[in-house]
Amino acid sequence: MNIYVGNLHYGVDEEDLRGIFEEYGEVSSVKIIIDKFTGKSKGFGFVELTDNEAGTKAIEALNDAELEGRNMKVNEAREKTDNRDNRRFDN
């Protein structure tokens, strides 16, 4: 299960997230999104657990949990969509 983790403190790194989510199951990947211009965290990332049941338990336990003074937003990640077709241009 691919899990979105938002509202992260900018000092949280991928190893921090891995350690937290490993309590719920096997973590296959962790990715914190980095701003390509500044090289700093954008404050969100993704964690992939190999088991869906473990992912559901992690979401239930960690959504709104505090980490480094901020309450994380944790939910199942949605597939990325191409928003270019959905833009409206008002003249």
Q: Is residue 88 part of a domain?
A: no
Tokens of 56: 């559901």
Contacts of 55 (CB under 8 A, 6+ apart): 1, 3, 24, 25, 49, 76
- Could you identify the residue written with the tokens 């597939």? 79
Q: Is residue 22 part of a domain?
A: yes
pLDDT at 87 over 70: no
- What confidence category does residue 80 fall into, taking pLDDT thresholds of 50, 70 and 90? confident
Residue 18 has a pLDDT of 97
Q: Is residue 24 part of a domain?
A: yes
58-71, pLDDT tens digit by residue?
Answer: 999 999 999 999 99
The tally of domains found in the chain comes to 1
Q: Is residue 85 part of a domain?
A: no
Rounded to whole angstroms, the Cα distance separating 26 from 44 reads 20
pLDDT at 84 over 70: no
7-32, pLDDT tens digit by residue?
Answer: 999 999 999 999 999 999 999 999 99
Range of the domain at 58: 2-78
Rounded to whole angstroms, the Cα distance separating 53 from 17 reads 18
